[in-house]
A and B are shown apart, each in its own frame.
Chain A
């Protein structure tokens, strides 16, 4: 079975900072990875599909990269409204989410 390791589990950054989250798969999943944002009390929102494809309407400060086993999600300039938990999810096999990264503002 594929395992997904997401890190860090939480981070604190200042408005305007560059934020990076990583997701590692236990085996090659090509580019079969999505990134979601979940704000407290709300349903998740798909931000990036196929590792790097920014979904329509999602601000360009969000980006994703990687293939194979190592993936990166970046917020180029953290905004107050970006406070949320972010999840990676692989679809190379049946869906599996990473453990999540809670992003807070300093």
Chain B
């Protein structure tokens, strides 16, 4: 079945780095744009970053631009989020998600979601 499984979350001190991974299965990973979306405790959903199906295009929310990097390895069916210079306000559950449509350089939204991985930034 179609599945996304995030890993790599944990507790990290402010200013440090963390890399999240998202393993995809059950579909042709290289055909879909992929997202990271986060949710701070008790708050709403916030889009973080998106990468095109082939990895050539990447876009970021202003809140993470210059600190976070999205990437993918289509040979390993894996999505990544490198998070540097972490701040307390980055504390959240991070979800990876698949785009609705196949092989587009346009981003339609998220039809498959992982279960999320929790990142806590605290000293």
Interface on A for B, CB 8 Å cutoff?
34, 36, 38, 43-46, 49, 55, 85, 87, 89, 91, 94-100
Contacts and interface: CB of A to CB of B under 8 A. Distances in A.
Given A46-B100, A46-B111, A49-B108, A97 B116 contact: no
Interface stretch (B16-24, B42-50, B67-75, B79-87): B42-50
A94 B109 contact: no
Given A38-B45, A43-B95, A91 B113 contact: no
- Most chain A C-beta atoms within 10 Å of own C-beta, residue among B45, B47, B115: B45
Given A43-B95, A95-B50, A87 B114 contact: no
Given A44-B45, A49-B100, A87-B45, A95 B109 contact: yes
Given A46-B110, A94-B50, A94-B61, 7 more contacts: A36-B110, A46-B111, A55-B111, A85-B44, A87-B45, A89-B110, A95-B35
Top 8 A-B pairs, shortest CB-CB distance: A43-B113, A95-B47, A34-B109, A100-B44, A97-B45, A46-B111, A91-B109, A91-B108
B47 A44 contact: no
Contacts of B59: 94
Nearest to B35: A95
B110 A44 contact: yes
